[in-house]
Amino acid sequence: MIDDESPAAPLPCIQMSAGRAHDAVTGASDDATTETEPLNVDLTLEIAARSGDAATVVRCAAASKPLRRAILGPGFRRLLELRAGAGGGFVPAFLVEASYWERQCVNDTLVDTVVVVPSRRGSFEFGLETHLQRSFVPVSSRSGLLVLRGNGGEGIELRVYNTVTGHVASLPTMDVRVDLDKQGYKEMFPPSLLSVDGAGRSFELLVLYKSMGSYQLRSKIHSTISSEEENNGRWSAATEILCPPALKLTTRETRTSPAIIGRTVHWLCVNRRQHDLVILAIHAAEVADVQATATVIELPQELLASMADRPSYDVHPHANSLILAATAGGKKKKLSLVVAEKLVISVWTLQPELGSTGSWSRQVVIRRREIDRKLTAGLDAYQPIRFDVFGEKSGTVLFWMKMVGLVQLNIGTKKARVLYRCDDDIGRAFLHEIDLVYLLQSMKPF
């Protein structure tokens, strides 16, 4: 299903007063001359759960104490889980907005500007300061947090921006000498937000990089509840990651965020030695050790054969045509790949089997020609696709398609939407999600 309507005007920011929220739910107003009968609590909960809108749920929670208690209770969570089950384990309401970096010429100077595309029914305010936009580049995101890396200088300088609260966490600079590749880029993998509470108040960040010829991993736990002195503590000691000698890895060509299953982090990499794509898996429980061994997962040949080869210069022809994803698999998530095949966009899921390396299953999400016929009639349906990010809570993937623009596709609902039409490539795009249950639990009582 395709939807190319212009985004509806966003509702007011969800951080509204309890009084205004009460009016929105009950229909009361300052000018009301007669009292209105408030909606039944159970009916209101059902409406909120079916709304598919984060702002509506938060407004309901702020409207009254009985509604707040009910929304924070297990019954409402079950309603959300039922909706998630109907959507392939995803809850589209957890997607708040998307953003992308656009390069503009201002006074003869190239300036990177953040462009925000809100969800249809509501939006949080995205207020990243201008100096951060100019001095830092986005490198990964998860659960409403955006990781930014400093443009230059020695070592690794990181900031974590909370798109829900607007808070920016300044992490201690990592004083390490990072190796450079032939093009002069730092050999650094996209940082991994291993754990994030629903409101983004605390998180654990893993950073994998190459220094003096060896792969090293460091971690840092940050919490807005802790004191500034505690948060300014050092990064963990470096853990050397042992990889098979046949590997010569780089992620510069893939540049997408890692997929996280439990406490195992998966990066999509290019093996330059054999010029193929592999998945590097590292279990975070081993970070405290001096050394840890990485697991390498090979991609099935049928998957690679299904993708169209594209002309490239020093870039793997398939590097941008697939992206890692964590999808529902019963009680535990499964490792998947969203793939731009020659004729369709599909999801390949790793099915672990006892005593073997596992096999991959394939499910078609949408046909390319259907997207182009409805979105951009007359254009070639097989234009190059570059995946940017996958939202593990909403099941949404963002990709740029040549001669089309930035497209949002939900693999659960199979609905697509053009966020920004353009012929040329744009900067890196990101999704901003929340977990309503954790967000509501973090709200102050009234």
Q: Is the model's pLDDT at 7 over the cut of 70? A: no
Residue among 324, 331, 345, 321 at smallest CA distance from 392:
324
Question: What is the C-alpha separation between 334 and 393, in angstroms, rounded?
Answer: 13
- Residue 80 pLDDT: 72
The residue among 174 and 352 whose pLDDT is bigger is: 174
Residue among 96, 94, 93, 39 at smallest CA distance from 70:
39
Across residues 5-12, what is the average pLDDT?
Answer: 36
- Residue 10 pLDDT: 34
Poorest-pLDDT segment among 80-89, 343-352, 403-412: 80-89
Length of the chain: 446
Structure tokens at 36: 């209105």
Question: What is the C-alpha separation between 142 and 195, in angstroms, rounded?
Answer: 9
Q: Is the model's pLDDT at 207 over the cut of 90? A: yes
Phi-psi group of 200: left, alpha or beta (phi > 0 → left; psi -120 to 50 → alpha; rest → beta): left
Residue type, position 9, single letter? A
- Running DSSP on this structure, what letter comes out for residue 376? S
Poorest-pLDDT segment among 30-44, 54-68, 409-423: 30-44
Q: Which long-range contacts (CB under 8 A, 24 or more apart) does 232-238 make?
A: 232/172, 233/172, 234/172, 235/172, 235/174, 235/207, 236/287, 236/288, 238/176, 238/211
Q: Is the model's pLDDT at 232 over the cut of 80? A: no
Contact yes or no for 320/252 (Cβ under 8 A): no
Mean predicted lDDT score pLDDT of the chain: 77
The residue among 255 and 298 whose pLDDT is bigger is: 298
- Running DSSP on this structure, what letter comes out for residue 21? H
pLDDT grade for 110, boundaries at 50, 70 and 90: low
Question: What is the C-alpha separation between 192 and 208, in angstroms, rounded?
Answer: 9
- Running DSSP on this structure, what letter comes out for residue 158? E
Query: How do strand 214-223 and strand 239-242 relate by DSSP bridges?
Result: antiparallel
Q: What is the DSSP annotation of 71-111?
A: HHSHHHHHHHHHHHHHTTT--GGGEEEEEEEEEEEETTEEE
Which of helix, strand or coil describes residue 119? coil
Question: What is the C-alpha separation between 203 and 381, in angstroms, rounded?
Answer: 41
* Domains detected in the chain: 92-440 (2.130.10)
The residue among 182 and 18 whose pLDDT is bigger is: 182
Across residues 216-245, what is the average pLDDT?
Answer: 79
The residue among 331 and 293 whose pLDDT is bigger is: 293
Question: What is the C-alpha separation between 334 and 343, in angstroms, rounded?
Answer: 25
Q: How far is CA 219 from the centre of its chain?
A: 20
Cβ neighbour number for residue 281 with a 10 Å cutoff? 17
Question: What is the C-alpha separation between 201 and 439, in angstroms, rounded?
Answer: 10
Contact yes or no for 335/259 (Cβ under 8 A): yes
pLDDT grade for 138, boundaries at 50, 70 and 90: confident
Mean pLDDT comparison of 111-120, 258-267, 313-322, 329-338, highest-scoring range:
258-267
